[in-house]
Structure 1
């Protein structure tokens, strides 16, 4: 077996397809499912992959099955696919949904099915994703390595304990939204100061991109990078004091806690 099945080729599923094809994977070894003929035609035309609306057909002979549907549908989907997956000699199932535990997925599948719980984030759309993986009890070292290699086509991958996955979701999976919100707020602040919105957007977006590139490439940690542009009694220090007095650090603490709690609640539902 060599096929890769992408169940639910939305944004995350498409990003994985794009990364795999760009990395040299034969597009015909990838089969993707979705709900509409128009989406299928786009995926076939854009990436050369095979498509189907039949999820059971997609997993037939698949070595890796990536579940890219919303969390509330994962367990039900695996129940529908269980027999087809069990008919294969060795299929590894990888879920990219928040909150759903390895145990819940293993219970929905035939005994002994290898399951990996993964937490991606949307920068995988541009090859800069952060993917965290937690293997189930039936996953071999070789299978986990193969999953990491596949996810590595769209960014970095790390292996974490499943007990840390809710925190990982809050700190990585949902974190891009926090940065987008900060950028949005800066744009609005620029407009409030009298700048045209297009100029404010350019300044805020480029600053966000530059800061991200700097934090990625620099040997300094974020504390030092911040200190480097915080001259005594300067403009940046004045802004940072206002942010701290407004409770930005506590707001992030509470946001991360709320996100992790919601991830745990999603898992409890199943």
Structure 2
């Protein structure tokens, strides 16, 4: 299955790198399409219409506001459509690409290293073979979770923004470690390894957050004291508010 990326920005590049197959790429900024093609061993094409003619699936990775403008050129040639467009529902995609099978996904940037999460939504009466083939291909880059479209916004607020939140936590921890005499490089490596290990441990415990937290929290110990400070700072309430804000914008 040859993917043709209509747009070659950060998310398109992350997804294409994670999948690890040569792709076709088109972008009004030709240098971005060339960069994506080189990153995957694929090929940049000169026009959006040529991309659609040569791709098995056109991946919509342009700006959401460009949907109708892009479809005017691409729709007559597209065989199938995979949309990365934020806040563009399946109904709008079907209007722009009538009589074409359409699948909507929301990926995140860790897809670039094969550790992403992708929420996938498709019409119940859509092409099941296409959905299965796409899920298998996308699973090279991420954990693929099929969801009702109504849950896409909440899913995006879970994993789409998480790399930024984790980066803030890591940055704050490194800064604190530096205040205690640890070099930034050493602290950064320990924080990154600690986050990776913590995620793996949580998965190994069947995502039981309470059991994972209790296993490392001795009564009166350093973890308990640290958690108390996080509670004093209303961390849980802040995360809930951030989730609501992200979900409302998705």
State the Cα deviation string for residues 209-263 of structure 1 (Å, max 9, x = none).
2212222334461211111110001110000011012110011111011001011
Across the aligned residues of Structure 1 and Structure 2, the Cα RMSD in angstroms comes to: 2.1
Alpha-carbon distance in structure 2 between the residues aligned to 1:119 and 1:45: 24
Partner of 2:77: 84
Partner of 1:72: 65
Structure 1 residues 93 and 79, CA gap change in structure 2 (3 angstroms): same
Residue 149 (str. 1) matches residue 142 (str. 2): no
Structure 1 residues 164 and 52, CA gap change in structure 2 (3 angstroms): same
Alpha-carbon distance in structure 1 between the residues aligned to 2:70 and 2:171: 36
1:18-167 → structure 2 map (5 Å cutoff): 18-21=17-20, 25=21, 27=22, 30-85=23-78, 91-110=79-98, 112-136=99-123, 139-167=126-154
Equivalent residue of 2:121, what SS? strand
- Select between 204-213 and 244-253 the one with higher mean Cα deviation: 204-213
Q: Is the 8 A contact 2:17 2:39 kept in 1?
A: no
Task: Report the CA distance between 1:46 and its aligned residue.
Answer: 4.1
Q: Is the 8 A contact 1:9 1:33 kept in 2?
A: yes
Alpha-carbon distance in structure 2 between the residues aligned to 1:179 and 1:75: 36
Number of aligned residue pairs: 250
1:215-226 → structure 2 map (5 Å cutoff): 215-219=202-206, 221-226=208-213
Alpha-carbon distance in structure 2 between the residues aligned to 1:159 and 1:132: 6
Q: Is the 8 A contact 1:64 1:94 kept in 2?
A: yes
Structure 1 residues 71 and 180, CA gap change in structure 2 (3 angstroms): farther
Q: Is the 8 A contact 1:65 1:92 kept in 2?
A: yes
Alpha-carbon distance in structure 2 between the residues aligned to 1:78 and 1:214: 45
Residue 179 (str. 1) matches residue 166 (str. 2): yes
Instruction: Point out where structure 1 has 5 or more consecutive residues left out of the alignment.
Output: 86-90, 264-270
TM-score by length of structure 2 reads: 0.90
Instruction: Point out where structure 2 has 5 or more consecutive residues left out of the alignment.
Output: none
Alpha-carbon distance in structure 2 between the residues aligned to 1:108 and 1:153: 29
Partner of 1:251: 238
